[in-house]
Amino acid sequence: MRVVITGGTGFIGSILTEKLQERGHEVIIFTRKPSSKHNGIQYVQWLIDHALPENELGHIDAIVNLAGVSIDDGRWTSERKKKIYDSRITATQEVLRIIRTLPEKPGVLVNASAIGIYPPSLTEEYRETSTAVGNNFLARTVNDWENLARHAADLGVRTVFTRFGIVLGKKGGALPLIKLPYQLFAGGKLGSGNQWFSWVHVEDVANAIIFSLENESIEGPVNVVAPSPIHMNAFGKTLAKVLHRPHWLPVPSIALDLALGEKSIVVLQGQHVLPEKLLSNGFTFQYPSLEPALKDLL
């Protein structure tokens, strides 16, 4: 397939690009930099004045929309939240505009999303059939983002919303920040420790995106989380074990609120999310259990 990726040079996008090429797919990455081609990848300018990327595409089979300011970097100030929200909406609006201009539509749009759409809960289990939506900033952002991307289906494009859990990776995602206190021998329970931590290895994220591209029966929301969510305190104990560090110094919720602001909800208010659609369609997780995943990354 010829696959367009927005956000293709980022944390998830770079791994996805490599895997797509390994499987023989052709990759086109939308970027703000001047158009070029190297390592078999075509780079096409977008989101700058007068850029018309559709004129450089020709036939494409799929679009993966990963564009957006990272939620993991920096404190969630009002300005930062606006960038997180606007970057996702602007990129998705441009993806839809491009699809409308193409005489031959791509077969599928895989649009990044997040389990943050679900309300925090200690007792609920969320599957793709769950319709509950939270009322915090992250949930509102994800809900608006999905509702916008949903217009691709009106254009006859199979549309998938990959709802990422807490992505664990060596060079990005939540793990570098979470592991830091343990490396300093100051790791311990975050908040109550009873909140759910629905995690996923970044390799499985990339594999799940490719699985969604290649399987025409998959559409709508897809929970991209490992099949073994865990409570935050148990996650910390496992992380400490793998790092050979103690798990002893509790961090009260108020301290995280002061340090991270509203962003603290990511670690203090979790959701118990299950990847029912992936499993029922035959997807195999490379890292279904936490300890082997952490050993691979650390």
pLDDT above 90: residue 297: yes
Homologous superfamily in CATH for domain 2-297: NAD(P)-binding Rossmann-like Domain (3.40.50.720)
Q: Tell me the per-residue pLDDT of 104-116, one tens digit each, with 9 for 90 and over.
A: 999 999 999 999 9
- Please compute the mean of the pLDDT values over residues 202-217 and round it to a whole number: 98
Burial class (CB within 10 angstroms; exposed 0-12, middle 13-18, buried 19+) of 157: buried
- The tokens of 208 are what? 């799940």
Query: What does the pLDDT look like over 117-141, one tens digit per residue?
Result: 999 999 999 999 999 999 999 999 9
Cβ(97)–Cβ(6) under 8 Å?
no
Alpha-carbon dihedral 223, 224, 226, 228, rounded to 10 degrees: -20
pLDDT at 246 over 90: yes
pLDDT, tens digit, for every residue of 174-185? Answer: 899 899 999 999
Which pLDDT does position 190 carry in this prediction?
93
Task: Let me know if 80 is exposed, middle or buried by CB neighbors in 10 A (0-12, 13-18, 19+).
Answer: middle
For the chain, give the number of residues. 298
**Which residues partner with 112 through β-bridges?**
162
Q: Alpha-carbon distance 114 to 287, whole Å? A: 19
Mean pLDDT of the chain: 96
What does the pLDDT look like over 151-193, one tens digit per residue?
A: 999 999 999 999 999 999 998 998 998 999 999 999 999 999 9
Task: Tell me the whole-structure pTM to 2 decimals.
Answer: 0.96
pLDDT tens by residue, 35-85: 899 999 999 999 998 899 999 999 999 999 999 999 988 888 999 999 999
